[in-house]
Amino acid sequence: MNFQEKCYKVLKTVPKGKITTYKEIAKALNSKAYRAVGTAMNKNPYAPKVPCHRVINSNGNVGNFDSGTKNKIKLLKKEGIEIKNNKIDLNKYLFRPYKHRI
CB of 34 closer than 8 Å to CB of 22: yes
CB atoms within 10 A of CB 69: 13
- Asked if residue 102 is part of any domain, the answer here is no
pLDDT at 64: 83
Domain count, the chain: 1
Compute the residue count for the chain. Answer: 102
CA 90 to chain CA centroid, nearest Å: 12
Three-class DSSP category at 84 = strand
For the full predicted model, state whether its pTM sits above 0.75. Answer: yes
pLDDT at 100: 57
Given 7, 19, 29, 52, the catalytic residue: 52
**CATH code at 73?**
1.10.10.10
**Annotated catalytic residue 7:** no
- Asked if residue 82 is part of any domain, the answer here is yes
The domain of 12 spans: 3-97
pLDDT at 76: 97
Per-residue pLDDT of the chain (102 residues; tens, 9 = 90+): 999 999 999 999 999 999 999 999 999 999 999 999 999 999 999 988 999 999 999 999 998 888 889 999 999 999 999 999 999 999 999 999 976 555
